[in-house]
Structure 1
Amino acid sequence: MGATLRDVTDELGLRERKKQRTRAAISAAAIGLFLERGFDAVGVAEVARVADVSKRTLFAYFPTKEDLVLHRFADHETDAADVVRGRAPRQGALGALREAFLRGLDRREPVTGLCDEPAVLAVFRLVTGTPALAARLAEFSGAGEAALAAALAEAGVPPLDAGLAAAQIAAVRRTLATANMDAVVAGVPAARRHPEAVAAAERAFHLLASGVGFP
């Protein structure tokens, strides 16, 4: 008998899970080496050897050395755009983005900067202390901003306005996350930082909605 649709689906699911495990194993090996000896002191060939894969396989999962660390950020690249596209009927885009950011704070999502898990803190320190990683992270931020501008344009915002709004929203999210990250890296527990992080987010989105209003 031929393979059933369920058999095919199960096989595809198995392959995808295997890919995810391989990807996670390569990244874990890389981050372990980078944290131990520094990003610049470890070559891709050594990462491949420790992860027990070929360099070709490594680059199939991670196009650049920096991506071995930053893929977690890349996985969230279109989050803001996805929020805009998936918002409730008649809900404003900015309101949806505000709610999503506040939920992220409540859940201690690393992309909000408000996460004090030791492994996350170690990666924060690695990224902020490595120019190549900081530069690559900026590329992801730029791509996320472009995706958000496209989503706003799809919602009927004129292209120029969409680009300007996306730039402001991306800057606010980045500034909030950086402030939270700086606090937890300095030793402030996420639970203690949370009320201040929420207040800062509320203030920031209020300014976005009403305009800065400087004299």
Structure 2
Amino acid sequence: MEQHTGLRARKKNATWGLLKSTALTMFEERGYENVSVAEIAAAAEVSKATVFNYFPSKEDLVIGGMRHHTGDAARVVRERRRGQTPHAAMREHCLHLVEHHAPQVGLSDEPMFLQVQRLLIATPVLMVSAMAYRRRSAVELGEVLMAEGHSRLTSSLVASQLLHTQHILAELNIRRMLHGDPVEEIRAQAVGAAQHAFGLLETGIGDLMRRDTEPPAAPDAAFNRDDCPTGYEPCESEARDAAERVLADTGDELLQALTDPRR
């Protein structure tokens, strides 16, 4: 029975991997919105129903894995040890993920992971869905903090700051991964980045980046050097009205001569 179950699990994993790799390759080649689920099924030589058995929606073929991690931050904070703050627990968790090259912090060099990241950057609709997952993570974390007796406002602010900090750190790592930087080099610098980022949450922004000099005098980017709106072009009616006003000026003898109907 154990051998049969193991074989069935391996077959399911193989089918899952085939469908995902097929979809990612087609999305990269033709664009996410230009590939249908039916075409993916045909390329993988399975039925459309089989695809939906493994992936409830088309976007799940790319970012479905994110749904399994929306509760991670809430769990880490809920299970933190006595005397530990939420940001300290999240920093410890983030450093643990960095140490193990986890994809959640952008430190995986697996081809499939990098494919997903390239597609996210190139596909706004997928980026919006990914943001929704991150928003769900913040909501779940906020609920944990409210359950501990903190106000909704404070809980929401803390949850959002913690999750967005982790997201920015992961995004920096991902961009370097896609650039082709060595993963060990990225990991070493990611440790310092995480310490710095969560340190700001711990100590607060305070006087950081206070301006000590007067701001530089710079022209308004919305206007050119002639004080005309940048990129402004008069419409046809405005141009016609201006021409009529000029032609109606009887004080310009040259214009009168040029527009004389008898010429």
TM-score, normalised via structure 1 length: 0.83
By how many angstroms is 1:113 displaced? 1.3
Picking from 203, 206, 212, the partner of 1:213 is 206
2:161 corresponds to which residue? Answer: 168
Kindly tell me the number of residue pairs found equivalent between the two proteins.
Answer: 208
Residue 94 in 1 paired to residue 94 in 2?
A: no
Higher-RCO chain (CA-CA 8 Å, sequence separation at least 6): 1
Q: What whole-Å deviation, never above 9, does each CA across 1:134-186 have from its counterpart, x for those lacking one?
A: 11111111111111111222233222111111111111111111111111111
Structural RMSD (CA): 2.5
By how many angstroms is 1:25 displaced? 3.8
More helix by share: 1
State the SS of the aligned residue for 1:75.
helix
Q: What whole-Å deviation, never above 9, does each CA across 1:70-98 have from its counterpart, x for those lacking one?
A: 01222222111111122233332221111
By how many angstroms is 1:33 displaced? 2.2
Q: 1:78 to 1:17 in 2, by over 3 A?
A: farther
Aligned pairs for 1:45-194 (under 5 A) are 45-194=38-187
Ranges in structure 2 where 5+ consecutive residues have no aligned partner: 211-263
Q: 1:104 to 1:18 in 2, by over 3 A?
A: same
2:195 corresponds to which residue? Answer: 202
Give the distance between the partners of 1:162 and 1:189, measured in 2 at CA: 38
CA contact (8 A) 1:66 1:132 kept: no
CA contact (8 A) 2:74 2:137 kept: yes
Larger Rg: 2
CA contact (8 A) 1:180 1:193 kept: yes
Ranges in structure 1 where 5+ consecutive residues have no aligned partner: 1-6
Letter in 1 for 2:106: G
CA contact (8 A) 2:24 2:115 kept: no
State the SS of the aligned residue for 2:64.
helix
TM-score, normalised via structure 2 length: 0.70
Aligned pairs for 1:32-51 (under 5 A) are 32-51=25-44
Aligned pairs for 1:17-28 (under 5 A) are 22-28=15-21
